[in-house]
Amino acid sequence: MRKIQTVSLIGLGAIGASYGCKIQELLGNNFQVIVNEERMRRYKRDGFQINGSKQQFNYTTPETETEPADLVIIATKNAELQQAIEDARYHIGPDTIILSLLNGISSEEDIYKATGNEHILYSMCVGIDAVRDKQNIDYSSIGMICYGEKDKSVSNDVLAVKELFEEAGVPYEISEDIWHTIWAKFMFNVGINQTSAVLKAPYKYFQQIPSLHNWMESAMYEVVAISQKVGVNLMEKDVHHYRPILLKLSPEGKTSMLQDVEANRKTEVEYFAGKVCELGKEFGISTPVNDQLYRMIHIIEEMDKVE
């Protein structure tokens, strides 16, 4: 079985930094974070604070030639994916394993189209409530990374990542059906991210207000209906599966989309409601909740531009 000795990360947001610091603690200089020159200067100057502890990462620029890494982790936003693939070009070789922690259901296919890499593991993270404010990152739950082969096999790549995560102390789960798992997380994100962004609501409101929780799940059930058409076959139990996960999140924690709204950043609405509405039209499924969320979030983005 192959052993992962070098890891490169691109995307130093709340999720990338939280998991990356554990891997760097294990691998030292064999762990690199790919950033542009401006960010490298700023990050080296200011450092990071992760749950109150100072953290300095090992940085490299996209222009710096290097040997391909054994593992590349992509933890950017969807809109930044194509640039991330380009920036990681020296780090991705024919034998490099790739893990994409992006939201949504399309990043692995996009990475394959761009790279032709045959070692892309389907993956996602769940249960992490990390929040980033500039270079300060705090979380009460680090959650875990779920991953696996789309064909459900337990390959050498899967086992190599398992060994790395165990040695680094990164919580993980090898999913028996990762495509179903990714769709279930997509379903949850469609509900929690978008409704929280519209109402600017941390997790505590979803934990305490039944009508809000029900509205969130109404958006999720539209994904369930579509999944029946594409052969993923989500069910009511998949919706219910996320209820205890939500209750365990920090009450003051915020979804990534809410953090984007508060920071006046472009949201990932195109990859959530946008994708749901697109698939709904394709398969003749009504998506009124996501249609409305799509409009509302675009309006919020436009409002942020008004002075």
1 lies in some domain: no
- Ranking 63-72, 122-131, 186-195, 286-295 by mean pLDDT, the lowest is 122-131
67 confidence band (pLDDT: 50, 70, 90) = very high
In the prediction, which pLDDT does 197 show?
Answer: 98
User: What percent of the chain is predicted at pLDDT more than 70?
Assistant: 99
11 lies in some domain: yes
In the prediction, which pLDDT does 242 show?
Answer: 93
Q: In terms of domains, do 233 and 250 share one?
A: yes
50 lies in some domain: yes
231 lies in some domain: yes
- Name the token pair of 70: 């054994």
**pLDDT, tens only, 5-18:** 999 999 999 999 99
Compute the 3-state secondary structure of the chain and give helix, strand, coil in percent, each to the nearest 5: 50, 15, 30
Q: In terms of domains, do 165 and 193 share one?
A: no
63 vs 73: CA distance, rounded Å: 18
134 lies in some domain: yes
Give the CA distances from residue 256 to residues 119, 131, 225, in Å, rounded to whole numbers and listed in that order.
Answer: 28, 8, 25
Q: In terms of domains, do 95 and 108 share one?
A: yes
In the prediction, which pLDDT does 257 show?
Answer: 95
**pLDDT, tens only, 29-50:** 999 999 999 999 999 999 999 9
Q: In terms of domains, do 18 and 144 share one?
A: yes
Q: In terms of domains, do 119 and 225 share one?
A: no
Mean pLDDT of 200-223: 97
Q: In terms of domains, do 109 and 140 share one?
A: yes
Q: Is the pLDDT of residue 246 over 90?
A: yes
Q: Is the pLDDT of residue 307 over 80?
A: no
Q: In terms of domains, do 26 and 149 share one?
A: yes
In the prediction, which pLDDT does 2 show?
Answer: 87
2 lies in some domain: no
Q: Of 150, 176, 202, which residue is a domain's last?
A: 176
CATH number at residue 243: 1.10.1040.10
Q: In terms of domains, do 70 and 212 share one?
A: no
User: What percent of the chain is predicted at pLDDT more than 90?
Assistant: 92
Q: Of 143, 176, 209, which residue is a domain's last?
A: 176
154 confidence band (pLDDT: 50, 70, 90) = very high
Q: In terms of domains, do 235 and 145 share one?
A: no
**Residue range of the domain that includes 124:** 7-176
Q: How many domains does the chain have?
A: 2
The string of DSSP codes covering 181-239 is HHHHHHHHHHHHHHHHHHHT--HHHHHH-HHHHHHHHHHHHHHHHHHHHHT----HHHH
Q: Of 176, 192, 209, which residue is a domain's last?
A: 176
In the prediction, which pLDDT does 305 show?
Answer: 83
CATH number at residue 128: 3.40.50.720
Q: In terms of domains, do 197 and 171 share one?
A: no
Q: In terms of domains, do 124 and 211 share one?
A: no
129 vs 112: CA distance, rounded Å: 29
Is 267:261 a contact under the CB 8 Å cutoff? yes
132 confidence band (pLDDT: 50, 70, 90) = confident
113 vs 102: CA distance, rounded Å: 16
Q: Does the reported pTM lie above 0.85?
A: yes
Q: In terms of domains, do 81 and 156 share one?
A: yes
153 lies in some domain: yes
Q: Is the pLDDT of residue 217 over 90?
A: yes
